[in-house]
Chain A
Amino acid sequence: MKKFQLSIVLLTTLVMGACANKNVPQQSTQIYIPSPTVVKYGDSQSIETVTADFGSTDLQTVAETMTRSLLQSKVIQNSISAPTVTLAEVKNQTTEPINTRMMTEKIRTQLMKSGQVRFAISANEMQSQVDETKRQNQSGMYRNDGTAKPSRMEGAKYRITGTISTIVKQNRDMKDIFYNFNLNLVNNESGLLEWAEEKEIRKTVTR
């Protein structure tokens, strides 16, 4: 009986000791050693196919197509001086969170580089314009002759509006996404649609 009791005590001591030994190495492995990562600069123009979502390649394709088409339009070609344009809303009618502002701004940059179009600031950028004008004119800190006066902004003759929409179809093995990007140039005074262009992109994912 005594032997049995002694063996139980020893066993318990061994188990506890084993547990205690197990805890010690755990505390020592708390120092996190990250797995080695590699940072690379890639080609910004290379085709990106990580997922079927709207990506950088789509953005570049759309911007290039739209810019080329707009610069070849009669409105731009036949105008005496560079017409003033503003960016209006491009509605995202897809289920994806697409930053449409980034698309239109990319188009704006490319059009500006051409020198054939002048851009007036859009409604989204008005707050900074108003703040600056107010600061110059109403803070009392600036000379009158050098300040940017209010009510002297130049209104845009045209505005760029558009939509991006998708048709998504999928089965167990395949997913098909059809993007349709539509851009319009509207004459602000007459309300006439002076130019329109669309770009279609199809992307398929198979298992």
Chain B
Amino acid sequence: MKHVKIYSWLAISGILTLAACSSTSTFKQSAAPVESNSSFDTLKYGESKQPTTFENDVKTKITNLKTIAVTDISFSQEFKNAFYFEENKIKRSDAKSESKSQVTPVRPFEPIAPATKNNDASEKPTPNIEQKNQYDNKNIYMHNVGFMEVQATLVELPSPTLPPEAPANNMKEESQQNNSNSNKSEASNSINIEHSYTKKYGIERKINYREIRGLSGPIKGMLLKAGYKLVQGKPNVARIDQNDDYFDIIKRIEAGDFSGADYVLYGVLTGLTQKNHSSSITGTVNAMSINDLEIAIDFSLIDTKTHRVVASFIASGSATDNRIDGEAEGYKPNTTKMVKQLSGNLAESVAYHLASQDFITSEFAQVSSPRVIPGTDKYRYDESNLRVYK
């Protein structure tokens, strides 16, 4: 019986203790927002002091993270070079041997001597025979091809000593040798000599396809800050027989160059300008050496699943490295500093355009607000500014 009483007391006391504990916890919760009734000013925390839900936001962001790949900047560069090819052939019919030589023939007319200038299709090319092996026939567009064949029959030529194959720049000498052959034509057997002369010249157009590397780092950094995951794409290496399909980004996406990426930010170089000049500073005896570098890139943001262009814009970046009296001091611009400045500037421009097309939130596109000057009414009425009451 005693045990029953003890157990019952223990049970009651346990229940009471538990009830007391539960009531104190509820009391704490309810007591927290209670304001004091004292006559002193109460300290209140506004909304900005409330516990933030940042962690929850981050969690939701992380679950919705998209993956993006940023390509290097693709570009094509066109070269135009002049070429010139000249060949003489002398064929002897009776000597049972055929010899070739690069001898300047006795020409029925003077060949045109083209001007020495590259990258201008309107002008005639430079007479540079050594260039002939550098060109791929596929890429050669002949604007003007000259061909001339001369056949001559010399009677009673005394077994002419044909000149050995000579270098092309020995033209004057070869010409003289040929003339001497003609002079020795007395007291000799009849020999039929076929003499052919070929001249080719024109403008060669060549297109290089490449990528500018080292400019996309700040763009990637900006996208990481904006909450995207990044995927490194494969580099776009040009083939030997490369053509404009170098810019076919869809083909690269389908080939798996950006596997795992939801979006690809693809950039193609639109323009690149470098200026170096010196300008006097008005009101001073000094001059400023101005070195500018500007770039414009056409960006397309492509959804890798639907191949839709989600955002498209031309972003630009610029860099300067100016120096007072730099020209007089022989100052060379610091290209490393300029490229760093250029890439940072380009990333800002990309962020601005992506924000303006609602791809990223505007907080990552650092839009600077107009500065309010102390002393003005705007500054005075802005409550966030420090005030001094006298």
Contacts and interface: CB of A to CB of B under 8 A. Distances in A.
A195 to B, nearest CB: 18
Category for how many chain B residues contact A = 20 to 34
Identify which of B282, B320, B376 gathers the most chain A CB atoms within 10 Å of its CB. B376
B374 to A, nearest CB: 7
Contacts of A130: 281, 284, 286, 324
B90 to A, nearest CB: 68
B281 A81 contact: no
Interface in B295-347: 320, 322-325
A53 B375 CA distance: 38
A127 B283 contact: yes
A151 B286 contact: no
A81 B286 contact: no
B324 A127 contact: no
Contacts of A125: 283
A112 to B, nearest CB: 9
B372 interface: yes
B378 interface: yes
Interface residues of A, number: 19
Contacts of A138: 323-324
Identify which of A80, A124, A125 gathers the most chain B CB atoms within 10 Å of its CB. A80
Contacts, number: 49
B4 interface: no
Given A133-B324, A138-B324, A150-B322, A118 B373 contact: yes
A118 B284 CA distance: 23
Contacts of B324: 130, 133-134, 137-138, 150
A150 B287 CA distance: 12
A127 B288 contact: no
Q: Is the interface of B mostly helix, strand, loop or mixed?
A: loop
Contact of A81 (B288, B320, B378): B378
Interface in B333-384: 370-376, 378
Interface string B243-283: 00000000000000000000000000000000000000111
A81 B378 CA distance: 8
Given A81-B371, A81-B378, A151 B320 contact: yes
Contacts of A115: 373-376
B1 interface: no
Contact of A80 (B281, B322, B325, B370): B370
A69 interface: no
A126 B322 contact: no
A116 to B, nearest CB: 6
A81 B323 contact: no
A118 B375 CA distance: 11
Given A115-B373, A118-B373, A80 B284 contact: no
B285 interface: yes
B370 A81 contact: yes
A82 interface: yes
Interface string A100-131: 00000000000000011010001111110010
Contacts of A122: 283
5 contacts: A81-B372, A116-B376, A130-B324, A134-B324, A151-B320
Interface of B: 281-286, 288, 320, 322-325, 370-376, 378
Given A126-B282, A126-B283, A151-B320, 8 more contacts: A81-B370, A82-B373, A124-B283, A126-B284, A127-B283, A130-B286, A150-B288, A151-B322
